Structure 1
């Protein structure tokens, strides 16, 4: 049985990767989590004894190599250190994105992996979805001819943006990753995969338009449970009370045994979105030119109803359109004048991508399959994100080496 240690027992580390690994036959043998209540909660799920629970990864790594692999799902600013320590011991690592907050750390991770017997798999789960695998199959078939352009949108959904990027752990950068890196390294990774080449040049525009103190409705209170304003789209009462209490995002509020109502009364997720505790852009557009001439446009926006991805791939012989939320794909063939439309299963978190990635990673650990996406290719998404953030802040076009 494959033995896996969880370093970070938050929503992604425990509720997603830990649960999926256990469901697919892996054994969760060690836990690293600084919050005692949360650590105890996750330990009870997996039967992890007290002597195999730790508040910090240093204590875990001091044991030497006691598992087969580790999941690193700590906060954004604490990914690099445990990953480097894991590689030094020869562990294979499933590393949550974004992998780092500083561009120089990308080369540090590559060098550490090259010197290790372990390998790093970045949690770019969208590549593992049936939906985007179907898109890749169309590209590989040649139906579109030569790929010329990509138009891709990540529709964050207004409530999701409020949850994660106004009230949540990613509301301030730093210490969290910039919005594009935190939310859309998945999408940048897809663009890189579709283009089939390294990025060459990038530009970007974006700003924090709405979630600012001057946009607050008259009479708004500091907490939603005390607010008399009706019809606010970011009212935490409506966002959380009307959702399944056993699933994300409500489980983020209730992790560690807190009730939803207590969280709304005293925690960050019950605060007004116009307090000014955030600085992430709420709308950003990016243009990328890849080394083979493919041009891609990515728009990431809070001002959407659906929490989904939509895309168009533009080729010399055809066009593909896709809507992930519906699982719908449509290909138009310019040569025959015909079109084909079909629906792909998108059940599961991230459209089945979380499950797909964990399965692929476990198959690799067991020697049953090749490794998932190589680290060097996965990190192109991060190089793109760092370059796009520089371009946005400086109002310039950034060239990337090697594209």
Structure 2
């Protein structure tokens, strides 16, 4: 039995709360003993859930970092632009670190985090949760076993979901590059990382990318539409209406995500939600927001040995996050959508075989990303308890390589050219 580990949570929002819920489901494995967040409501909520001593509740993470290390690990789930400083500070204090993706919003900051963790010899796990999902791991096992032969192309699609994109990337926290970063980094670094993972030891040599902000602009605002969905006379004909996304869900008694992020005070009632939509960002017309991140993007990659990969991110989809992957090799073709099954077509035998992952069981409190959040936390907690970095799939060097690929892909899109990596 692994020992109980203690954790400090930096950033008590949606992701910090989600990861820390592992301690509720598995109190013999992890205990949250501290929280830092500038918002009083967020601090109090986690303090009550985990029965945190008042001396370990902070409105500024810097105060916690000034103390001698008092927990085994820290969960850094601050806004994207605020990842580097706490990650570096707590690494220097000797904490093992679970860092929400992306690592940081510049290559230089990512590299500084890696240097800090390596020089302090602490564990770092970046929350590329999809790598930990049994389906992604099973695909990797099948590829490594040679079922499709040598890989020559990976086709990977991320369907963001039409209302999810409106929630997070038009009205929400990741809508504006100046406040967060570009969407390939904030949304799709998961997917570039998966391609990097499945390609194995093959190094990416060059990358090109194209994409733009489409539809969610003032030019597409319907005639007669209001600035707020609650006051709009044409709202019924709009699929992106805040009434449809939030109020319809709440009227069914469901105040979970995405409704849970709308009310900053945590009130779970229709009146509070209605007021938050009227006064806050989530009730805004999607055609009048300050969003500037792209809605659709393709990334083309060439790897060593002539292998290629093509990634597509698109906002306008029915499905939400159910990735679709096809991997083409010299001996066969592998395909998978969502959580499977994984289908391999053997060229020699001319037949299909279905494969399922070894396990697909997770607690409801960690069901996000089809349970991948649970598998991430299980690996991280075990790695810290056993001081075993091999249990971490997304350590510093591996994650840095895939992040740098994301940054170069975005540079290609902005500069309208192919970017070659140094040989």
TM-score by length of 2: 0.91
Counterpart check, 1:236 vs 2:250: no
SS in 2 for 1:357: helix
Contact 1:245 1:251 in 2 (8 A): no
2:204 corresponds, among 199, 202, 206, to 199
Query: 2:143 & 2:237 partners in 1: Cα distance?
Result: 44
1:390 CA drift (Å): 0.8
Q: Deviations over 1:256-280 (max 9, x none)?
A: 3243222212111111100041000
Query: 2:323 & 2:152 partners in 1: Cα distance?
Result: 20
Structure 1 residues 240 and 276: alpha-carbon distance in aligned structure 2, compared to 1, 3 A threshold? closer
Contact 2:111 2:400 in 1 (8 A): no
Query: 1:299 & 1:346 partners in 2: Cα distance?
Result: 29
Matches within 5 A, 1:187-226: 187-196=191-200, 197-226=202-231
Counterpart check, 1:251 vs 2:260: yes
2:336 corresponds, among 294, 319, 322, to 322
Contact 2:260 2:266 in 1 (8 A): no
Between the two proteins, the alignment pairs up a number of residues equal to 400
SS in 2 for 1:170: coil
For residue 417 of structure 2, what is the aligned residue in structure 1? Answer: 396
1:291 CA drift (Å): 3.2
Q: Deviations over 1:293-338 (max 9, x none)?
A: 32110000101110121010000000011111x5332111001001
1:343 CA drift (Å): 5.3
For residue 376 of structure 2, what is the aligned residue in structure 1? Answer: 357
For residue 172 of structure 1, what is the aligned residue in structure 2? Answer: 176
Contact 2:84 2:110 in 1 (8 A): no
Counterpart check, 1:5 vs 2:26: no
Structure 1 residues 102 and 130: alpha-carbon distance in aligned structure 2, compared to 1, 3 A threshold? same
Counterpart check, 1:311 vs 2:325: yes
Unaligned runs of 5+ in 1: none
Contact 2:171 2:289 in 1 (8 A): no
Contact 2:171 2:286 in 1 (8 A): yes
Contact 1:129 1:346 in 2 (8 A): no
SS in 2 for 1:350: helix
Counterpart check, 1:332 vs 2:345: yes
Contact 1:130 1:346 in 2 (8 A): no
Supply the RMSD in Å over aligned alpha carbons. 1.6
SS in 1 for 2:373: helix
1:204 CA drift (Å): 0.3
Structure 1 residues 139 and 346: alpha-carbon distance in aligned structure 2, compared to 1, 3 A threshold? farther
